[in-house]
Amino acid sequence: MHMKFSENSDDKYFFSQPHQPFFVLAFINAVVLMVLFLLVYKGIIHIPIPALNFHAYGLTYLLFTPVFLGFLLTTFPRFASTPVIEKTVYMRVFSFFYLGATLYVLGSIVSPIFSALGMVLILIGHIYGMMLLRNIYLTTTMEDKHDIFWILTAMKFGVLAHILFICGQLFYAPLIGLANEIGIYLYLFLLTFSVAQRMVPFFSHSMEGKNEYLLKVIFALLLLHIVLEGFYANSSFVVDIIIGVLIGKEILRWKFQFPNPDPLLWVLHTALYWIPVAFIVGAVTNFTTLMTGTSFLALDIHLITLGFVFTMLIGFGTRVTIGHSGNSMQADIVTKTLFYGTQLVVLLRVMVSVLAAFGMDFMVLFDITVTVWVLFLLLWAWRFFPLLILGKKRSE
């Protein structure tokens, strides 16, 4: 993948808004990482990094983090009524992610030294991006900073988890477990939910007032979840049920029309409904694991990251890509297929965990699940990369 960064290049449009290069990089990363993970998991190729660490780090910091930064560096100034971020500034952040991702993937095949260097470059980009958001938070003259405070807080925890993961990978392996817990619950989940609880009711014209205390309570419960898991694995099931019920009640309070006839809203609503499912089902499977030792292959984590975070990512990512390229906010047949495809990927991954729990051979279904997800990512790229890279108009 060759990208020219000069102002006078043909790529001038591609780099004109932060979300464009970040989204493209994230989807390319995801395809490469999932194909490599499948080959490693099946023993076809060998890498110097433990396969599950490669999987967790890659998706958290090479897929979700570039998408988050692309989205937030585009929209955060609007949230906070501050000037847009200069191109030269966000391109520095992108450059760290681009170079870091290239080295990380190269290192997974060639040498862990390249991977370590790649992770450090990605971390620098992550910190730089977080500092840009922090500067916006500190300079905004808005009185209501509630939502941007929690978005920034989640991004800070993302940086903390990132540092812990690298330290765990290079020096002290037990830190990786803590890094993953913080990364999933106080970074991926909290950041996505902080954006969603602000934007989805607004897009849906929900007339219900905002619950100012919800994020504080959820944050405290997520912290308690991490503490309990740190003391004893799978012991947080009571806390998880409480989180699932509280957020479920809040979503019902918003009184969404479901299923919504507008696919661009339907996909966002569907992502939200995965939250109570993820936490309550996760509580049941964790309790079962605690009592019987049955393995569900991290079903709870995949329900959160695929069901909620990834579905929301596709919903918001598609919406931003369409809207910021000057196209009408309509979902064509390919876009609708993509939205349904996200749910197929989640359900296939659930079935993999169910087969594993019953002691059945799940590898064929695992292969199918990864293949479907990669095809889904390629379809999204085929449909939306022309909008992101060239600014093309869609034929509606």
Residue among 233, 359, 206 at smallest CA distance from 198: 206
Number of domain units in the chain: 1
Q: How far apart are CA 14 and CA 21, in angstroms?
A: 6
Q: Tally Cβ neighbours within 10 Å of residue 256.
A: 20
Q: How far is CA 310 from the centre of its chain?
A: 5
Percent share of the chain, pLDDT over 70: 96
DSSP 61-74: IIIIHHHHHHHHHH
Residue 13 lies in a domain: no
Residue 309 lies in a domain: yes
pLDDT band at 144 (very low <50, low <70, confident <90, very high): confident
Structural domain for 84, as ranges: 19-389
Quote the pLDDT of residue 214: 94
pLDDT at 11 over 70: no
Question: Residue holding tokens 């996200």?
Answer: 342
Quote the pLDDT of residue 394: 57
Residue among 28, 87, 6 at smallest CA distance from 385: 28
DSSP annotation of 261 reads: S
| 3-class secondary structure, 103 | helix
Average pLDDT on 139-165 reads 93
pLDDT at 6 over 50: no
Quote the pLDDT of residue 4: 47
Residue 292 lies in a domain: yes
- pLDDT tens string 94-140: 999 999 999 999 988 888 889 999 999 999 999 999 999 999 999 98
Residue 208 lies in a domain: yes
| Prediction pTM value | 0.94
Query: What does the buried/exposed string (b/e) look like for 58-67 if buried means 16 or more CB atoms within 10 Å of the residue's CB?
Result: bbbbbbbbbb
Q: How far apart are CA 379 and CA 377, in angstroms?
A: 5
Residue among 197, 202, 200, 251 at smallest CA distance from 219: 197
Residue 12 lies in a domain: no
Lowest-pLDDT range of 38-47, 336-345, 352-361: 38-47
**CB distance 68 to 310 below 8 Å:** no
373 or 51, which is more confident: 373
Quote the pLDDT of residue 376: 95
Residue 395 lies in a domain: no
Q: How far apart are CA 261 and CA 256, in angstroms?
A: 11
The backbone torsions φ and ψ at residue 79, rounded to the nearest 5 degrees and listed phi first, read -55, -40
Quote the pLDDT of residue 63: 97
Quote the pLDDT of residue 286: 95
| Element spanning 290, H or E | helix 263-292
pLDDT at 1 over 80: no
pLDDT at 7 over 70: no
Lowest-pLDDT range of 90-99, 205-214, 350-359: 205-214
Average pLDDT on 201-226 reads 92
pLDDT at 9 over 70: no
Average pLDDT on 224-232 reads 95
Residue 396 lies in a domain: no
- pLDDT tens string 243-269: 999 999 999 999 998 889 999 999 999
pLDDT at 291 over 50: yes
Q: How far apart are CA 370 and CA 366, in angstroms?
A: 6
Average pLDDT on 80-95 reads 93
CATH of the domain at 86: 1.20.210.10
Average pLDDT on 175-190 reads 97
Quote the pLDDT of residue 28: 97
Handedness of CA 27, 389, 323, 382 (dihedral sign): negative
DSSP annotation of 17 reads: S
